[in-house]
Structure 1
């Protein structure tokens, strides 16, 4: 099994997110396509089979400068598993 942890961290506050399993899925911020709540902290876990790959495609994406962070981990959300962090 492959575990990919996909986190949006908007400082701290309301928790949101979920679990995505299967061949495809959709991840949206709370309130999409409108604004999300201040201080939201969203974590999505993506799980797929052992030999499957996970491909992330962003169709609409915007971060509020100086506040929003996107982190993508391969496995548990620990520093050694960090693959992408925006902004760096």
Structure 2
């Protein structure tokens, strides 16, 4: 398998105020390629429940398209939220090499 290409970088908060735009960007990225979709989260700020829903929705869309959504360089605060909600068991998380 080829190494994933950095397909998308998210910055700032991932909350109800930006959810629709992020959802559209992730959907376009999923639909535009094949294989792994690497989403760099290193610059993402606070994430709320709506933001988590966007990530789960993108994960499901990627699965339906035969792709794997990979969340890269997840900030500690976001990783803790994913752990507490047990989404770390569903979503694929990866640190940069």
Common fold by TM > 0.5: no
Report the structure number with the largest CA radius of gyration. 1
Which has a greater percent of strand?
A: 1
TM range (shorter): 0.3 to 0.5
Higher relative contact order (CA 8 A, sep 6+): 1
Which has a greater percent of helix?
A: 2
